[in-house]
Amino acid sequence: MTLSCHRYDPSACDFPRPRVPVLAPLSRAQLGPARPAPAARRQHFARGRYALHAAYALAGVGPGGALLAPAYHCRTMLDPGLRLGAEVTLYPVTPDLHADIDGLARAAAACRTPPAAVLVTHYFGLPRALDAISAWCQAQGLPLIEDCSHALPGVAPGSTLGRVGRWAVSSPYKFFPCPDGGWLWANGDAPLPTAPARSQGLAAELRGLRSAWQQLRHVPAASDPGAIQAELAALAARTGLRGRDWVEDDAGPSDEYQAGHEGAGSLAISRWIERHTDLHALVERRRQRYRQWLQAIDAVPGLAALLPDLPAGVAPYMFPLRVDDPARLFHPLKQLGMPIWRWDDMARSECRVAQRYRQGVFHLPCHQGLSDAQMQWMTAALCTVARAP
């Protein structure tokens, strides 16, 4: 199937490398005794996107079965469906990123092939309410697949995160400081793939070990918040391109999807790091950093937390910042070396929320590996640029 997609290429901007890591680096302080494995039936994969591929295939997504996916998305949520040759139809989301049930029903009715599955996403690690979409799926006889790639199931007491859908997937490397990793787990009588995950090979395992060792030895450079004004003044004198933003028709999965990794398991070092990471410290540190972002942007013009409520016990993945004037803030912040993630590459839809959030929501780090100095520099940089005339 061909999708019409928004694309953005920042290469002409010559952005420097981020001064702060987007994902948590490995450190000895984060490691501890091994935790017992969860009791849930699950299988490991190299990435969550390949776990999604397996879930879609098990649900019947393919040439004869369409995938219903949220309009606000990372392209890798859709790639496995396109790889399977399925029609991918987008349904709208509400401003707080819940499924628009009426819009979902309209999207299902618009499918040229019968829908086979519905994907629902827990954005930024904060669980979204599933009662309405689960009831709709049950009424339609459609399996619900929970995308927990931004979430850490099983840490909040009493949480049903990852337990409502027939299948659920996660991306542990976004939380644990490991080179790769994805999980697919099945609820109820849902099947798992009959073939076990295959090894990525000795060379890949050695590269993973080398990456972990390099992170343990790396000492991050400090950045001075007091130098931000002078750096911005120097940047203002430079003339640079703003990047290329366009629309194109894509015939298949994005460049982020590698078909050769389908069915491959995660690296042994990744699973070792995941089992030996201090989970309590990880959760509490991420919650602390999320609250620091909330405090830092309070009353700053043009900035607002997209999801200001942090439920008890939940581990956030990133801090979603809603920006009134993204074109004014994005480039100077990136030129400073601010670690900003956005979903610039996104399939087109009629959903106004997705259209607004595509470039108007900045994903900012709140991981456990951030130092106090790094948080101080990031919050100072953001607020300084936001308050500039």
Question: Tell me: the pLDDT tens digits for 296-346?
Answer: 999 999 999 999 999 999 999 999 999 999 999 999 999 999 999 999 999
- Rounded Cα distance between 243 and 319, Å, is 24
Residue 188 or residue 217, greater confidence: 188
Pairwise CA distance, residues 18 & 360, whole Å: 20
For residue range 251-260, what is the model confidence (pLDDT) as tens digits?
Answer: 789 999 999 9
Condensed to tens digits (0 to 9), the pLDDT of residues 192-236 reads 999 999 999 999 999 999 988 887 766 667 688 889 999 998 887
The dihedrals phi and psi of 376, each to the nearest 5 degrees, come to -60, -45
Q: What is the pLDDT of residue 235?
A: 84
Map residue 235 onto helix, strand or coil: helix
Residue 80 and residue 53 in contact, taking contact as beta carbons nearer than 8 Å: yes
Long-range contacts of 221-227, Cβ-Cβ distance < 8 Å, separation of 24 or more:
221/19, 222/373, 223/19, 223/20, 223/337, 223/373, 223/374, 223/377, 224/377, 225/376, 225/377, 225/380, 225/381
The CA distance from 177 to 213, in Å, is 12
SS3 content of the chain, % helix, strand, coil (to 5): 40, 20, 40
DSSP 12: G
The pLDDT of 5-27, averaged and rounded, is 91
Asked whether the predicted pLDDT for residue 188 surpasses 90, the reply is yes
Res 35 pLDDT > 80: yes
What element of type H or E holds 380? Answer: helix 372-387
In this structure, what token pair is assigned to residue 247?
Answer: 């629309």
Q: What is the phi/psi pair of residue 321, to 5°?
A: -105, 120
Mean pLDDT, range 262-291, rounded to an integer: 96
| Per-chain mean pLDDT for the chain | 94
Q: Quick one: average pLDDT of 87-109?
A: 98
Q: What one-character DSSP code corresponds to residue 350?
A: S
* 8 A C-beta contact, residue 130 and residue 141: no
Return phi, psi of residue 33, to 5°: -65, 155
Per-residue model confidence (pLDDT) at position 217:
66
Residue 263 sits at the vertex; the CA angle it makes with 262 and 265, to the nearest 5 degrees, is: 110
List C-alpha distances in Å: 129 to 160, 290, 320, 345.
Answer: 10, 21, 18, 26
CA 137 to chain centre: 24
Short-list 79, 80, 121, 86, CA closest to 104: 121
In this predicted structure, the answer to whether residue 385 has a pLDDT above a threshold of 70 is yes
pLDDT at 37 over 80: no
Cα–Cα distance, 372 to 375 (Å, whole number): 5
Percent of the chain scoring above 90 in pLDDT: 84
Pairing of β 3-9 and β 88-91: unpaired
Helices (H), 23-74: 48-59
**If you search the block for the tokens 């904060």, which residue do you land on?**
126
At 142, list the tokens: 């459609």
* Residue 3 confidence class, pLDDT cut points 50, 70, 90: confident
E strand segments, 46-103: 66-70, 88-91
Residues 6+ apart with CB under 8 A from 193: 43, 54, 58, 184, 263
What pLDDT digit, counting tens, does each position of 135-182 carry?
999 999 999 999 999 999 988 888 899 999 999 999 999 999 999 999
| Model pLDDT for residues 76-85, shown as the tens digit of each residue | 999 999 999 9
pLDDT at 207: 94
Res 36 pLDDT > 70: yes
Identify whether the C-beta of residue 41 lies closer than 8 Å to the C-beta of residue 184: no
Percentage above 70 pLDDT, the chain? 97
Q: What's the pLDDT score for residue 211?
A: 86
